[in-house]
Structure 1
Amino acid sequence: MEYFSVSHLLCDYLAVATFIATAFVVYSLWLLFYRPFDLFRDYTELGFEQISNARNFKNNVVKRHFINQYRKRRKIGDLPPSYPNGWFAILESEEVKRNSVREVDALGLNLVAWRGESGTCYVADAYCPHLGAHLGVGGKVAKECIECPFHGWKFDGVSENLVSVPNVDPVPPFVKLKTWPVHESFGFVYIWYHAENEKPLWWPDIVTEVESGQWKYRGRSEFRVACHIQEIPENGPDSAHLGVVHSSFFTNGAIPNESRVSWSFLKHGWAATWAPNSDPGREHEALMRVYHHIILFNKISCLHMPVDVHQIGPGIVHMHFDTIFGKGILIQNVTPLEPMMQRVVHRFYSSPTFLHPLGLLVLHSEGVQISRDIRIWNRKTFLRNPVFTKVKQIQVFRRWYSQFYSKNSAKLDHDSSFKRGIKKLDF
């Protein structure tokens, strides 16, 4: 009887151990081959390490307060206007479900987004023209209309017209709700912003393989960056920084969550070209070719991978990968939340042969590399007339980028007071 009890107990332990091991294997496979990558980093995590290290911040609110004090004392420089003209991603598509309403703050605007019964997404100014209620706070969707939570006024997303007022018939024909041109692709909701209220001058590019679902979604990353929007795409023509900022695999703990191990025998090798697109009708685009490879022992070059980069307007970047494993595209969207705060979101899609673990590796590597840039962007000043040696690609970039500013583009002045279009632009 005792032998039976012990053997029975051992069988139970073995069954439990087998179940745990199987669950662990299944979970690991799910993480590696199915779960999309997801990363978020706030601006307070990068570039302010000396503040965090100098004080033992047990309260994140206190830490944020100290960091914001540093931000207020920062010399921002003679900045270009805060909000360029172009298409900007204000939401990711899954954030706006059918028949739902979302409050959105971007580009210095208070907006409301809703998705009608048809599945179409609409974006409008947030405040009801009746008595100013915020339509994103308690508003409801009725077919393609949004209903004000204050007095029940309904506005049509297609026509902008007021279509219904409780106990009033007919409704005032002159009342409208300002809506914004919307484009939806790559899992993002874009709006067209223009300081002169001009209609869209161009449209974001579409990749058929992504829109048709042939390529798989591999994940996303999101960052908050405390800088002017132009600082971020200006990194493209600045190829000189690649060998300084992005050559090492690890940074000896200089950036949080990066390894403290230094592998001096293993480095990234970089080369890049950048130029505005000269094709008619594509003046809003710039083209970059990045050549990336691995260097072993400072001698052996291997794993060469070219990446075609398309800067589309002021805030959209498409990075095209073509490897022996298949093709993929990394979408980067930079959206100003306020003059000196940007939201940067990446989404990666790839062909089925570009296996999910490789997609995770791309997103992780991009997160590591851009974190190194953000650490600098969060603390630098903007120099209107930088000192150059031989390469003047940044000047070429600034002339190209200046097309996205116009007479009434809002500008943050030196004294940090927010003014609109009172200075002549000179780029």
Structure 2
Amino acid sequence: MEYYNNIVLKWSTEYLAATIILGGTAYGLWLLFYRPFDLFQDYTELGFEQISNGRKFKNNAAKRHIINQYRERRKNGDLPPSYPNGWFAVLESNELKRNTVREVDALGLNLVAWRGESGKCYVADAYCPHLGAHLGVGGKVAKECIECPFHGWQFDGVSENLVSIPNVDPVPPFVKLKTWPVHESFGFIYIWYHAENEKPLWWPDIVTEVENGHWKYRGRSEIRVACHIQEIPENGPDSAHLNVVHSSPITNGTNTNELRVSSSFFKHVWTASWAPNSDPDREHEALMRVYHHILFFNKISCFHITVDVHQIGPGIVHMYFETIFGKGILIQNVTPVEPMMQRVVHRFYSSPTFVHPLGLLVLHGEAIQVCVLLISKFQRDPPE
């Protein structure tokens, strides 16, 4: 009996070990070849190292409070308009399911977004014109309408009109809820903002390969940045900074404890040209072509990439990648949350031949290089 028990125990041990190995391998392959990239970095992680280094904070709230104090003490001078005219991403499409409501804060506005039974998305001012209830907190979807959680008033997303009041017929024809022009594509929900309330003067570019599903979604990153919106897109024409700020390997991130590689062994090399779009119908767009390669030991050149950059208005950037592995697009959206706070979101899509691990590397590298830029550009010692 003991002999058979030992055999059973041995088989059980071997079976458990094999299960762990196979499970771990499968999980590793899933991480590497299937799971989309997803990164979030708060503004307190970027550009304030001189405040946080060597300090012990009781909690994140204490750190945020001290950093906000330094932000308020900075001498910014006269700022350009904080909310320029254009299309801005206020949500990602997967954040708003059918027949659901979301509260949205962007462009210094309190907004409500909902997706009707048809699947169409609507964005409106958040407060009910009746008694000011917030439609994004407890509001409901009724077909294509948003229903106020206070008295059940229903506003149509298409016409802006008040269409129903419980036990009241007819409804007052003059009551409306201000809605915003909405455009939804490649995973983002955009609204048109204009300081003088003009209708859209242009529309975001359509990326056919993404819209028809031929290119695969590889992941996203989101970074909060404590700066003015103008400071981010102005880096497009500033090609002189590329070989100064972005020459270091992507492993050389913002944390001094991260793995670092000597630039004499490995570095990025950039060449770029920039010009406004000559098409009279595309005056809101600027074009940049970037040539990139990696240089090993200052001699061996490899991993050549051509990137065509389209700066579309103040808040949208399309970066078209062309490599030996295939093509892809990195979509960047910069949305002002408040005058000196921006939400920067990237999504990367690529052709099936552009293998998933390489897509993850592009997203990771972009996030690292953006952080390096932000720290080098926006980190300033607080005034005395």
Structure 1 residues 186 and 380: alpha-carbon distance in aligned structure 2, compared to 1, 3 A threshold: farther
Identity %: 80
Letter in structure 2 aligned against 1:187: G
CA drift of 1:67 comes to 1.3
Counterpart CA distance in 2 for 1:332 and 1:183 is 16
Q: CA deviation at 1:56?
A: 1.9
2:342 matches 1:337: no
Residue aligning to 1:295: 295
Distance 1:167 1:144 in 2: 20
Cα deviation per residue 1:231-268 (whole Å; 9 max; x = unaligned)? 00111111121111111115766436742443531100
Structure 1's 257 and 306: CA in aligned 2 closer, same or farther, altered over 3 A? farther
Equivalence map 1:356-395=2 (5 Å): 356-380=356-380
Q: Structure 1: how far apart are the matches of 2:264 and 2:4?
A: 59
Counterpart-to-counterpart distance in 1, 2:296 and 2:252: 19
Contact 2:253 / 2:368 at 8 angstroms: preserved in 1? no
State the TM-score, normalizing by the size of structure 2.
0.96
TM-superposition CA deviations, 1:75-123 (whole Å, max 9, x none)? 2233211000000000000111100000001001110000000000000
Cα distance change, pair 170–284 in 1 and its aligned pair in 2 (3 A): same
Per the alignment, in what secondary structure is the counterpart of residue 360 of structure 1? Answer: helix
Residue number in structure 1 paired with 2:182? 182
Q: Deviations over 1:191-223 (max 9, x none)?
A: 000000000000000011101111110000000
Shift of residue 301, structure 1, vs aligned partner = 2.4
Inter-CA distance 256–176: structure 2 relative to 1 (3 Å threshold):
farther
- Compare 59-68 and 205-214 and name the one that shifted more: 59-68
**Structure 2: any 5+ residue segments left out of the alignment?**
none
Structure 1, residues 357-401: CA drift from partner, whole Å, max 9, x if none? 1111110110110011122344359xxxxxxxxxxxxxxxxxxxx
Helix, strand or coil: the match of 2:274?
strand
Aligned-pair CA distance for 1:298: 1.7
Between 141-150 and 350-359, report the one with greater CA deviation: 350-359
Structure 2 residue 41 is the aligned partner of structure 1 residue 32: no
Deviating more after overlay: 70-79 vs 114-123? 70-79
- Specify the alignment match of 2:89 in structure 1: 89
1:175-214 paired onto structure 2 within 5 Å: 175-214=175-214
Question: What value does the CA root-mean-square deviation take over the aligned residues?
Answer: 1.5
Which residue of structure 1 lines up, in the alignment, with residue 217 of structure 2?
A: 217
Match of 1:121? 121
- 1: CA distance, partners of 2:339 / 2:53: 28
Contact 2:101 2:113 in 1 (8 A): yes
Aligned residues, how many? 381
Rounded to whole Å, the distance in 2 between the matches of 1:118 and 1:174 is 26
Deviation at 1:51, TM superposition (A): 2.0
How far, CA to CA, are the matches of 2:291 and 2:258 in structure 1?
24
Q: Distance in 1 between matches of 2:51 and 2:327?
A: 42
Q: Contact 2:218–2:356 at 8 Å: present in 1 too?
A: yes
The one-letter code sitting in structure 2 at the alignment partner of 1:200 is P
Q: Secondary structure at the match of 2:304?
A: strand
> Structure 1: how far apart are the matches of 2:99 and 2:4?
62
Unpaired runs of 5+ residues, structure 1, are 382-427
